[in-house]
Amino acid sequence: MARPDFNLLITLEVLLAEGSVARAAKRLRLSPSAMSRALARLRETTGDPLLVRAGRNLVPTPRALELRERVGRLVQEVEDVLRPTEQLDLKKLVRTFTLRTREGFVENFGPELIARIAEEAPGVRLCFVPKPDRESVLLRDGRVDLETGIISPNLGPEVRAQNLFRDRFIGVVRPGHPLADGDMTPARYAAGGHILVSRRGLDRGPMDEALDSFGLKRTVAVIVGGFSEALALARSSDLIATVPERLTGNLRDGLHGFPLPYPVPEIPICLLWHPRHDADPAHRWLRAVVRDVCASQPGLHPRAE
């Protein structure tokens, strides 16, 4: 049996990542016709069409989906083997890292994180992108270097996760609000008008489940998709926002926060990355910086890697 052309692995990885012959050709600096010929060779070698036409787009076959993770790992391992071992020189490091975070992370940890990186590795640039969901596909395909957030059932089993700190929900109202004075009880909390934060537009959340145990029901006056929107409404109305304490620290400036009058589970905020970066010295350095910056905030409990 003839030995397969291992260069096809790189072509296959890019084709499966891009889902387009034209985009894959551009990424590999090949002509579209050369990429089409490479796809034909891959189909012949694997005995599977890999990418098939669906309207104007190409979609992966079940075999292609099965191969995508394996091919990515193989290509990364080959690159690691062939890459010379170098001592990381942070002063000479030139690289852009993409971090996918929920709102509040940049506002609270961004300034110190940027200052640390500017001091240690001035050639490094951070690109923060929003996190509208908990899917891990961007980590898997390499478009994102790090994520912060809660581990979800949708997290791929191959994704690495490490606790950064634990947060908790608190109630927030405008200065001078009636709830800013006096003892807080479940009944007082439930009696007010509430702002519910739900990225999916749900009309119930963990707070409602907690109030159920007291036989109480709160009135949700408005549903918004983010914490900053909830706090902006609370700032200019009599509505109550319920938000994470640590992640909204700077966003809550000038507002009155109070502990919720019933037990609520803490929120474990984690650092997430793909194992392809485990041995990357620059990536390991960035992970350590993120952990250190989060640990510098009072009340946070980091874990060593």
What letters, b where the CB count within 10 A reaches 16 and e where it falls short, cover 178-209? ebeeeebebeebbebebbbbeeeeeeebebbe
Q: Identical fold at 90-167+268-295 and 169-265? A: yes
Query: What pLDDT does 300 receive?
Result: 37
Give start and end residues of each alpha helix (H) in the chain.
7-18, 21-28, 32-46, 62-82, 105-120, 137-140, 186-191, 206-212, 227-235, 281-295
Is the pLDDT reported for residue 112 higher than 90? yes
**Does pLDDT of 116 surpass 70?**
yes
Among 59-73, 98-112, 172-186, the least confident range: 59-73
Instruction: Select the more confidently predicted residue: 107 or 77.
Output: 107
Say whether pLDDT at 299 is over 50. Answer: no
Other beta carbons within 10 Å of 94:
9
Average pLDDT, the chain: 87
Enter the DSSP assignment of 3: P
Q: pLDDT grade, residue 305 (50/70/90)?
A: very low
CATH class of this structure's domain 7-82: mainly alpha
* Amino acid letter for position 67: L
pLDDT at 205: 86
Q: Of the segments 5-9, 164-168, 192-196, which one has the largest average pLDDT value?
A: 192-196
Mean pLDDT of 287-303: 72
Domain 90-167+268-295 has CATH 1.10.3720.10: no
Predicted local distance difference test score (pLDDT) of residue 303: 34
Instruction: Tell me the domain boundaries of the chain.
Output: 7-82, 90-167+268-295, 169-265
Classify domain 169-265 by CATH number: 3.40.190.10
DSSP string, 136-191: -HHHHTTS-SEEEE---TTS-TT-EEEEEEEE-EEEEE-TT-GGGSS---HHHHHH
The residue-averaged pLDDT of 1-19 equals: 80
Residues 59, 53: Cα–Cα separation, whole Å: 6
- Arithmetic mean of pLDDT, 50-58: 83
CB atoms under 10 Å from CB of 283, counted, come to 18
